[in-house]
Amino acid sequence: MKKRVILMGPPGGGKGTQAKSLTAAMHIPHISTGDMLRAARREGTELGKQADRYISAGQLVPDDLVNGIVAERLSSEKDGYLLDGYPRTIAQADALEAAGEKIDAVVLIDVPDELLVERIVNRESCGQCGAVYHKLTMPSKKPGVCDACGGALVQRADDNEKVVRDRLVAYHAQTQPLVDYYKSRGLLFHINGNAAVDVVFEEIRKALEF
Ligand code: AMP
């Protein structure tokens, strides 16, 4: 089983949804830099304040800020992890390598741009446990309430059409170069994300051999 895993893909591509199922099945922690930055923002820390203006504008938070929180977190994870949304730049990938982290697999969940905007503007997530829903194709049983924990569902402020388009620009310019970076290291698994959630999960399961 491959236990140090990076999950890559465009915004709205299904990383968060797959990450929840994968980490439960593989018994490894889910480390999402987006979740960590949003938590810092809620807590009003200095990092949260600095990150907020980038997140709200659909831009990437500067590498040194993100590298700092990830390095601190990974130092305590010896038995594997799933990184969701990190690294997002070559500089972040270099920092991970320089820290001596030996990655077993990089899973790219690929979805065409034209489908992503529709997915994101219809997305809502639980403010408590982070479970993700789609208002039309994967709604919660009771509107506005999380099936998993009963928490209130909210729409992320950066999940609107204008910001999503900027996030896509950032993805193609800054994150997509990582595809070749990890392909050249023999670590990349390319998964078609334009399929049902359980079909995508099964493809990833096969790639990660668990
Ligand atoms: P996500 O929840 O992964 O979609 O991330 C939401 C936002 O948080 C992104 O649009 C970025 O502004 C910021 N962010 C999350 N992860 C990173 C990262 N690895 N590097 C830079 N910015 C990040």
Is the per-residue pLDDT at 75 higher than 90? no
The helix or strand, by DSSP H or E, that contains position 85, with its residue range, turns out to be: none
Instruction: Decide: 93 in ligand 1 pocket, CB within 6 A.
Output: no
With a pLDDT cut of 90, the percent of the chain lying above it is 90
pLDDT score at 114? 86
Q: How confident is the model at residue 18 (pLDDT cuts 50, 70, 90)?
A: very high
With a pLDDT cut of 70, the percent of the chain lying above it is 100
Closest atom of ligand 1 to CA, residue 59? 12
The number of CA neighbours under 13 Å toward the Cβ of 29 is 13
Instruction: Decide: 38 in ligand 1 pocket, CB within 6 A.
Output: no
Q: How confident is the model at residue 32 (pLDDT cuts 50, 70, 90)?
A: very high
Query: What is the CA(3)–ligand 1 centre distance, in A?
Result: 22
Give CA–CA dist 172/10, Å, rounded. Answer: 8
- What's the rounded mean pLDDT across residues 120-131? 91
Instruction: Decide: 13 in ligand 1 pocket, CB within 6 A.
Output: no
> Cβ(131)–Cβ(30) under 8 Å?
no
Give 54-73 pLDDT, tens digit per residue.
999 999 999 999 999 999 89
Name the packing angle between helices 90-98 and 63-74 (round to 10°).
30
Is the per-residue pLDDT at 76 higher than 90? no
> Cβ(95)–Cβ(63) under 8 Å?
yes
Is the per-residue pLDDT at 130 higher than 90? no
* Pocket mutation for ligand 1, best pick of 17, 31, 33 (most atoms within 8 Å of C-beta): 33
pLDDT score at 189? 98
* Pocket mutation for ligand 1, best pick of 35, 37, 69 (most atoms within 8 Å of C-beta): 37
Instruction: Decide: 41 in ligand 1 pocket, CB within 6 A.
Output: no
> What are the start-end ranges of the H helices in 32-190?
33-43, 46-56, 63-74, 90-98, 113-121, 161-170, 177-183
pLDDT score at 167? 96
Four-CA torsion 153, 157, 162, 163, nearest 10 degrees: -110
Instruction: Decide: 7 in ligand 1 pocket, CB within 6 A.
Output: no
Q: How confident is the model at residue 102 (pLDDT cuts 50, 70, 90)?
A: very high
Give 164-185 pLDDT, tens digit per residue.
999 999 999 999 999 999 999 9
Is the per-residue pLDDT at 123 higher than 90? yes
